[in-house]
Amino acid sequence: MTRQKPRLVMKFGGTSVANLERIRRVAKRVGVEVAKGYDVIVVVSAMAGKTNELVGWVGETSPLYDAREYDAVVSSGENVTAGLLALILQENGVEARSWQGWQVPVLTSSAHSSARIEDIPTANFDDRFDKGMQVAVVAGFQGISAEGRITTLGRGGSDTTAVAFAAAHEAERCDIYTDVDGVYTTDPRITSKARKLDRIAFEEMLELASLGAKVLQTRSVELAMRYKVKLRVLSSFEEPSDDAGTLVCAEEDIMESNVVAGVAFVRDEAKMTLVSVADRPGVSAAIFGPLAESGVNVDMIVQNIAEDGRTDMTFSLPVDQVARADRAVRDAMAAGQIEFRDLIADRDVSKVSVVGIGMRSHAGVAARMFRALSNEGINIRVITTSEIKISVLIDRKYMELAVQALHDEFGLEKA
């Protein structure tokens, strides 16, 4: 079917819709895009702080709450925002209608609080847009399972909702409005030299998001890369313009890439080492199987050279998962699955990473990174690499110094 007008997806986060005054600002911004000739799909989050409040209320009912009812409660914040924005748009003379996930319907898996989108039929919206609807305001973060229960997509799920709608509706672009004006070479709170990027490749954004950058949810970037959805990250508090924000796009849409696009960091990491593990086939599975079953998010893994049939196994993880990991590993030893002499946990490390698609064609990036850290007297505990990323674990007290040093080393303040 040939559409009368192109479609645009706009997503507004919690700070952008924190109160009625800000929702009115959002309505005006949406009206600008309607005036340009777009059929607009707006995806909204709950008002700032509302989801945390709802989660807290659920937690107070019982520590072993029903996950289905959890989703029913915490998804309600987005419903309020969607309805209010639709009302204000109508007052502004825009034909708007709010939609909850089940009404679209956003079809998801049955994994409550961490569901994945399986399909978004477009027939309902196609029909309504053809009949004069100008804006569909969608409650983000939520969907409906095959069992007919409301589901939620996990924290940051409204980003994923927006990208999924853009893919399903073949939207011209998906604009993600936040409280920052784009993607920066690193956190501006760490170094004043941080520079806003005009464009960044999907792969670079995916690495930065997974390595600690908070601008976009990792799953939303994965989805955008898979379906080639152009993303634009921009601030809802600045005046709109055609060159505002940062465009996240395919590598071929970027004329020239710097060797390194950005420096990411995760402040609260931990490092655990199993000392003197038997070096035999299957030992890694015996260690990391129980960790996975316990929900421990293992990241960097390093195995030392075996000596006399024994080896040390080191891995990093979020600092708040150390106790869970300790229990999982010790239970595995008690069950005779593994054996080790000691388990050492260091809760005072951070992960710092440099990311850039330019690394594929430039040698010496690792040497420059390690030299820059050495010049500042920063010792590297663990190193891991990929085709476009180098990550190191260092003492947490040196994290900000390391970020600044690497930002300077690769000249990221320069366009």
Question: 8 - beta bridge partners?
Answer: 40, 173
Instruction: Tell whether residue 178 is among the known ligand binding residues.
Output: yes
DSSP assignment of 295-341: T-----EEEPPPBTTEEEEEEEEEGGGHHHHHHHHHHHHHTTS---S
Instruction: Tell whether residue 12 is among the known ligand binding residues.
Output: yes
Phi first, then psi: give them for residue 56, nearest 5 degrees: -60, -40
Task: Report the length, in residues, of the chain.
Answer: 415
Instruction: Tell whether residue 203 is among the known ligand binding residues.
Output: no
Burial (0-12, 13-18, 19+ Cβ within 10 Å), 247: buried
Instruction: Tell whether residue 309 is among the known ligand binding residues.
Output: no
User: Angle at the Cα of 305 (from 299 to 309), degrees rounded to 5?
Assistant: 115
Both structure tokens of 273: 């080492």
Instruction: Tell whether residue 202 is among the known ligand binding residues.
Output: no
Question: What is the spatial distance between Cα 184 and Cα 246, in angstroms, rounded to a whole number?
Answer: 9
Question: What is the spatial distance between Cα 187 and Cα 121, in angstroms, rounded to a whole number?
Answer: 38
Phi first, then psi: give them for residue 10, nearest 5 degrees: -125, 130
Question: What is the spatial distance between Cα 29 and Cα 13, in angstroms, rounded to a whole number?
Answer: 14
Q: Which residue has the tokens 């009912």?
A: 61
Question: What is the spatial distance between Cα 239 and Cα 249, in angstroms, rounded to a whole number?
Answer: 23
Instruction: Tell whether residue 189 is among the known ligand binding residues.
Output: yes
Question: What is the spatial distance between Cα 184 and Cα 197, in angstroms, rounded to a whole number?
Answer: 6
Nearest to 346 by CA among 294, 395, 288: 395
Instruction: Tell whether residue 413 is among the known ligand binding residues.
Output: no
Instruction: Tell whether residue 78 is among the known ligand binding residues.
Output: yes
Q: Yes or no: say if 351 and 212 are a contact pair by the CB < 8 Å rule.
A: yes
Instruction: Tell whether residue 14 is among the known ligand binding residues.
Output: yes
Q: Yes or no: say if 387 and 360 are a contact pair by the CB < 8 Å rule.
A: yes
Instruction: Tell whether residue 177 is among the known ligand binding residues.
Output: no
Instruction: Provide the total of helices (H) and of strands (E) in the chain, helices listed first.
Output: 12, 18
Instruction: Tell whether residue 184 is among the known ligand binding residues.
Output: yes
Nearest to 181 by CA among 243, 247, 233, 242: 233
Phi first, then psi: give them for residue 2, nearest 5 degrees: -85, 125
* Residue 74, amino acid: V
Query: 3-class SS at 270?
Result: strand
Instruction: Tell whether residue 308 is among the known ligand binding residues.
Output: no
Going by the annotation, the residues of the binding site are 11-14, 51, 78, 178-179, 184, 189, 214-215
Going by the annotation, the residues of the binding site for substrate are 51, 78
Going by the annotation, the residues of the binding site for ATP are 11-14, 178-179, 184, 189, 214-215
